[in-house]
Structure 1
Amino acid sequence: MTTARPETGPTIRISTGTGSGRTTLSAFDAALRSAGVADFNLLRLSSIIPPGSTVLEVGAADQLSGAHGDRLYCVYAEAHAELPHHEAWAGIAWAIALDGSGGGLFVEHEGPSREQVDRDLTATLEDLVDRRGGGYEIAGRAITSAMCETEPVCAVVIASYAARGWSVE
């Protein structure tokens, strides 16, 4: 028995944000606000892009909208720095299948430097593509950073798949 696949998948919106606060948690909240997704409950997914999807890089104002407390299905990278002059770098890279299906892969990494995050994103995405026998094209990456001056900072890159309320489905 074959399961029918939807002809169109989600429009996945990728945004970045940075923030600071008196704690790493409040810095994370500020970074989510900067990325346009602060009032959601985040449900982290395992980095597979469904067939029929479109991946768009957007600003905070063009992220998914929803009511306070809605579920947000997403992939994200978050990095923190707490010491003065330390950096937090976060990034997501993606590859799209060459078969025209719109399916693909995300990878996410965090680190203390752009060089490390770039290197880790590239190596991981290459490994995932190789394990699947190739057939993917590296399509993009989004990276952001924050520098700690006095308060903890957070850098976030988030790929939002869908926002859902809490009504019975």
Structure 2
Amino acid sequence: MPTSAVRDQIPVLTATGTGATTLAAFHDALVQLDLGHYNLVRLSSVVPPATSVDATGKAPAPAGAWGDRLYCVYAEQRATEIGEQAWTGIGWVQRLDGLGGLFVEHEGTSEQYVANAIQASLRDLVKGQEDAFSAGEMVLNGAVCTGEPICSMVLAPYETAAWNGVAR
């Protein structure tokens, strides 16, 4: 990852895509977030120091050019059968001392399963140091397949970087 500073806020964004295939539905979800022109680089879910998480949908995604790398945490679930559900979520805790936090991401076929998995993961990740972290928060997204394949997505973009190593 580039050595430049990470953004002050990491937005948590949601979208549901559709398409002729599950891959096309995944891409449609990215296009709906205006992120379909990036190469995704999935991160291991650590929130950098002095960075907050914005679940309001008002913080902008990082800017970049066609083909740039987008460092992000995301959950995506696809469904192809009529009536099948696709649920995704990202949860997080922040360190109370401002030195970062933790994301968790889960996917499944029901809202309750994803919410429970996020809560359980956050609980285990801070076990023994609960007093050092904020209460857990989460953003969920879900959809039901009505014919065409769908992809439910929740994505937290950190920053973009050009292939020459220059962060944007």
Aligned residues: 161
**Deviation at residue 62 of structure 1 after TM alignment:** 2.6
**Deviation at residue 51 of structure 1 after TM alignment:** 0.7
Q: Which secondary structure state, in structure 2, belongs to the residue aligned with residue 42 of structure 1?
A: strand
| 8 Å CA contact retained: 1:41, 1:71 | yes
1:92 is matched with which residue: 90, 93, 101? Answer: 90
| 8 Å CA contact retained: 2:14, 2:155 | yes
Q: Given the alignment of the two structures, is residue 115 of structure 1 paired with residue 148 of structure 2, yes or no? A: no
After superposition, give the CA deviation of every residue in 1:2-56 in whole Å (9 maximum; x if it has no partner). Answer: xxxx9x7422121111111111100000111122311110000000011111211
C-alpha distance in 1, partners of 2:57/2:50?
22
After superposition, give the CA deviation of every residue in 1:78-128 in whole Å (9 maximum; x if it has no partner). Answer: 011110011100000000012233x00000000001000000000001000
Partner in structure 2 of residue 137 of structure 1:
134
User: 1:90/1:99 Cα in 2 relative to 1: closer, same or farther (>3 Å)?
Assistant: same
Partner in structure 2 of residue 22 of structure 1:
20
* Identical-pair percentage: 43
C-alpha distance in 1, partners of 2:58/2:49?
25
Which 5+ residue runs of structure 1 have no aligned equivalent? 1-5
Partner in structure 1 of residue 36 of structure 2:
38
User: 1:58/1:108 Cα in 2 relative to 1: closer, same or farther (>3 Å)?
Assistant: same
Q: Aligned-residue CA RMSD in angstroms? A: 1.9
Aligned amino acid, residue 123 of structure 1:
A
Aligned amino acid, residue 165 of structure 1:
A
Aligned amino acid, residue 93 of structure 1:
G
Question: Which range moved further: 138-147 or 37-46?
Answer: 138-147
Aligned amino acid, residue 13 of structure 1:
P
Partner in structure 2 of residue 82 of structure 1:
80
**Deviation at residue 64 of structure 1 after TM alignment:** 1.8
Partner in structure 2 of residue 163 of structure 1:
160
Aligned amino acid, residue 147 of structure 1:
V
TM-score where L is the length of structure 2: 0.89
Q: Which secondary structure state, in structure 1, belongs to the residue aligned with residue 32 of structure 2?
A: helix
Which 5+ residue runs of structure 2 have no aligned equivalent? none
Aligned amino acid, residue 94 of structure 1:
W
TM-score where L is the length of structure 1: 0.88
